[in-house]
């Protein structure tokens, strides 16, 4: 299995913090956000290689980060060649870019580079071993208003199979939110290309919904904490967090 860290966004909502620094390279408690993700990936024997896909604006910064890190895993930093927010490929486009340019036809673990979460990726991989199909990691927000404002709402059955997926629904069916952490088996990778060609999707959640309409997709529910550092308030919150991340 290989991992893709999505780090090609321009994070305009976090300006001026992200005008000259990519969001995954922002520090939380003295360490770049992306390091928390890579630390977890390095503990997984199943992960053979890590691709970090970024844009032309921040490519050199990620190369410098990769060289300084001295990772236990092979990390490949990729430049999707975009130079501004209006030209971005989007999460799905960047996933496809990695697959096509690197011939990454293995099972893929995909994580957004601004995610901070408490679960061990190793547990996510064990869940995958049981189901062998596309997976999405789910966090119970305990609050439907939170989902309605900015998240993807996921409904699952007692077997954890995804029944529905809605982005920012006005009336959420559950309090379960889709996090930007997914596993795609190699046999499902064609859905990513299909989604681009047929529907021009941008968000990974749309692809999950697209696949779930055609075959079983399951949700890995975890407890603890999850932050997608997308706003100034969220960034301030994770830096004030008293427990270890």
Hey, is 140 helix, strand or coil? strand
Phi, psi of 17 (to 5 degrees): -60, -35
In the chain, where does DSSP find H-type helix?
A: 33-42, 59-69, 90-102, 121-131, 144-150, 190-199, 204-212, 232-240
The verdict on whether omega for the bond into residue 16 sits within 30 degrees of 0, i.e. cis, is yes
What are the structural domains, with CATH classification, of the chain?
2-240 (3.90.550.10)
pTM of the model: 0.93
What's the pLDDT score for residue 149? 67
Helix 90-102 to helix 190-199 angle, to the nearest 10 degrees? 130
Residues contacting 120, CB < 8 A, separation 6+: 40, 43
Instruction: Answer whether 98's CB lies under 8 Å from 78's CB.
Output: yes
pLDDT in tens, the chain (245 residues): 999 999 999 888 889 989 999 999 999 988 999 999 999 999 999 999 999 999 999 999 999 999 998 888 999 999 999 988 877 888 889 999 999 999 999 999 999 999 999 899 999 999 999 999 999 999 998 888 877 667 888 999 999 999 988 888 888 888 999 998 999 999 999 999 888 887 666 677 788 888 998 999 999 999 888 988 888 988 888 888 756 66
**Rounded-to-integer distance, Cα 135 and Cα 183, Å:** 5
């Amino acid at each position: 299995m290989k991992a893709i860290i999505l780090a090609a966004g321009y994070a305009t909502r976090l300006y001026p913090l992200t005008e000259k620094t990519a969001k995954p390279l922002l520090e939380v408690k003295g360490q770049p956000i992306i390091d928390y993700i890579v630390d977890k990936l390095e503990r997984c024997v199943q992960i053979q290689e890590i691709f970090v896909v970024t844009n032309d604006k921040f490519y050199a910064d990620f190369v410098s980060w990769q060289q300084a890190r001295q990772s236990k895993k092979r990390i490949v930093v990729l430049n999707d060649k975009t130079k501004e927010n209006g030209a971005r490929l989007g999460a799905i486009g960047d996933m496809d870019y990695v697959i096509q340019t690197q011939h990454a036809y293995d099972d893929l673990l995909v994580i957004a580079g601004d995610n901070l979460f408490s679960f061990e990726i190793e547990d996510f991989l064990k869940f995958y071993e049981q189901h062998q199909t596309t997976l999405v990691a789910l966090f119970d927000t305990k609050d439907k208003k939170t989902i309605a404002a900015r998240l993807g709402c996921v409904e699952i059955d007692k077997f954890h199979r995804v029944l529905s997926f809605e982005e920012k629904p006005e009336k959420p069916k559950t309090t379960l939110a889709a996090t930007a952490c997914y596993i795609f088996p190699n046999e499902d990778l064609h859905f990513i290309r299909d989604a681009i060609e047929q529907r021009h999707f941008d968000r990974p959640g749309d692809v999950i919904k697209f696949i779930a309409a055609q075959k079983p997709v399951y949700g890995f529910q975890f407890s603890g904490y999850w932050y997608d550092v997308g706003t100034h308030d969220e960034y301030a919150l994770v830096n004030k967090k008293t427990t270890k991340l």
